[in-house]
Structure 1
Amino acid sequence: MPTQIMHGEDAQVVPLPTTGKLSAGIVAGAVLKSYTRYPHGLPTKHADRINADLLAFTQG
Protein backbone atom coordinates (compact mmCIF):
# COMPACT_ATOMS: atom_id res chain seq x y z
CA MET A 1 0.00 0.00 0.00
CA PRO A 2 1.43 3.43 -0.90
CA THR A 3 2.38 5.24 2.29
CA GLN A 4 3.55 8.80 2.82
CA ILE A 5 4.80 9.79 6.25
CA MET A 6 4.64 13.53 6.88
CA HIS A 7 6.58 15.05 9.75
CA GLY A 8 7.47 18.52 10.98
CA GLU A 9 11.17 18.98 11.61
CA ASP A 10 10.45 21.22 14.61
CA ALA A 11 8.18 18.73 16.37
CA GLN A 12 9.29 18.66 20.01
CA VAL A 13 7.03 15.96 21.44
CA VAL A 14 7.75 13.44 18.69
CA PRO A 15 11.16 14.30 17.16
CA LEU A 16 11.74 13.47 13.50
CA PRO A 17 14.75 11.16 13.99
CA THR A 18 13.03 8.91 16.52
CA THR A 19 9.55 8.85 15.01
CA GLY A 20 9.20 9.96 11.39
CA LYS A 21 12.45 8.43 10.18
CA LEU A 22 11.87 5.28 12.20
CA SER A 23 8.35 4.88 10.79
CA ALA A 24 9.59 5.37 7.24
CA GLY A 25 12.15 2.63 7.82
CA ILE A 26 9.59 0.20 9.20
CA VAL A 27 6.95 0.59 6.49
CA ALA A 28 8.18 -1.03 3.28
CA GLY A 29 8.31 1.45 0.41
CA ALA A 30 7.16 4.40 2.53
CA VAL A 31 8.00 7.93 1.45
CA LEU A 32 9.07 10.36 4.19
CA LYS A 33 8.23 14.01 3.61
CA SER A 34 9.59 16.33 6.26
CA TYR A 35 8.78 20.01 6.65
CA THR A 36 11.39 22.54 7.76
CA ARG A 37 10.22 24.78 10.63
CA TYR A 38 6.88 22.97 10.92
CA PRO A 39 5.77 21.89 14.41
CA HIS A 40 3.92 18.75 15.47
CA GLY A 41 0.45 20.07 14.51
CA LEU A 42 0.97 19.96 10.74
CA PRO A 43 -2.60 19.26 9.63
CA THR A 44 -4.14 22.08 11.63
CA LYS A 45 -1.46 24.76 11.46
CA HIS A 46 -0.50 24.24 7.81
CA ALA A 47 -3.60 22.61 6.33
CA ASP A 48 -3.27 24.17 2.87
CA ARG A 49 0.24 22.83 2.32
CA ILE A 50 -0.41 19.44 3.90
CA ASN A 51 -3.64 18.88 1.97
CA ALA A 52 -1.97 19.85 -1.31
CA ASP A 53 0.89 17.42 -0.66
CA LEU A 54 -1.51 14.63 0.31
CA LEU A 55 -3.53 15.20 -2.85
CA ALA A 56 -0.39 15.16 -5.00
CA PHE A 57 0.75 11.93 -3.36
CA THR A 58 -2.58 10.17 -3.88
CA GLN A 59 -2.75 11.26 -7.50
CA GLY A 60 0.86 10.53 -8.12
Structure 2
Amino acid sequence: MTFVERGQLDDIQLGGIFVAGLSASTMVADGCPPDRHDTIGTLVCLSGMAAMMYVARSN
Protein backbone atom coordinates (compact mmCIF):
# COMPACT_ATOMS: atom_id res chain seq x y z
CA MET A 1 0.00 0.00 0.00
CA THR A 2 1.33 3.42 -0.89
CA PHE A 3 1.07 6.68 1.04
CA VAL A 4 -1.45 7.94 -1.53
CA GLU A 5 -4.09 5.57 -2.82
CA ARG A 6 -4.77 5.46 -6.55
CA GLY A 7 -8.26 6.96 -6.14
CA GLN A 8 -6.85 10.02 -4.41
CA LEU A 9 -4.73 11.12 -7.37
CA ASP A 10 -7.68 12.99 -8.87
CA ASP A 11 -8.12 14.95 -5.63
CA ILE A 12 -4.41 15.79 -5.54
CA GLN A 13 -4.43 16.97 -9.15
CA LEU A 14 -7.54 19.10 -8.59
CA GLY A 15 -6.01 20.64 -5.48
CA GLY A 16 -2.87 21.66 -7.37
CA ILE A 17 -4.90 23.07 -10.24
CA PHE A 18 -7.12 24.94 -7.78
CA VAL A 19 -4.16 26.61 -6.04
CA ALA A 20 -2.48 27.61 -9.32
CA GLY A 21 -5.79 28.85 -10.75
CA LEU A 22 -6.61 30.81 -7.62
CA SER A 23 -3.23 32.51 -7.74
CA ALA A 24 -3.72 33.44 -11.41
CA SER A 25 -7.32 34.61 -10.99
CA THR A 26 -6.37 36.78 -8.03
CA MET A 27 -3.74 38.46 -10.18
CA VAL A 28 -6.31 39.12 -12.91
CA ALA A 29 -9.08 40.27 -10.54
CA ASP A 30 -6.88 42.54 -8.40
CA GLY A 31 -4.70 43.74 -11.23
CA CYS A 32 -1.49 43.27 -9.29
CA PRO A 33 1.00 40.41 -9.37
CA PRO A 34 1.23 38.02 -6.41
CA ASP A 35 3.82 38.91 -3.81
CA ARG A 36 6.72 36.75 -2.72
CA HIS A 37 4.71 34.89 -0.07
CA ASP A 38 1.93 34.01 -2.53
CA THR A 39 4.47 32.67 -5.01
CA ILE A 40 6.32 30.64 -2.37
CA GLY A 41 3.06 29.17 -1.05
CA THR A 42 1.93 28.21 -4.54
CA LEU A 43 5.28 26.56 -5.30
CA VAL A 44 5.25 24.64 -2.01
CA CYS A 45 1.74 23.37 -2.72
CA LEU A 46 2.52 22.37 -6.31
CA SER A 47 5.78 20.65 -5.32
CA GLY A 48 3.93 18.70 -2.62
CA MET A 49 1.32 17.68 -5.18
CA ALA A 50 4.05 16.56 -7.60
CA ALA A 51 5.83 14.57 -4.88
CA MET A 52 2.66 12.75 -3.82
CA MET A 53 1.77 11.92 -7.41
CA TYR A 54 5.29 10.65 -8.13
CA VAL A 55 5.33 8.40 -5.06
CA ALA A 56 1.92 6.97 -5.92
CA ARG A 57 2.91 6.20 -9.50
CA SER A 58 6.32 4.72 -8.70
CA ASN A 59 4.93 1.99 -6.41
TM-score with structure 2 setting the length: 0.34
In terms of fraction of residues, the more strand-rich structure is 1
In terms of fraction of residues, the more helix-rich structure is 2
Answer with 1 or 2: which has the greater Rg.
Answer: 2
TM-score with structure 1 setting the length: 0.33
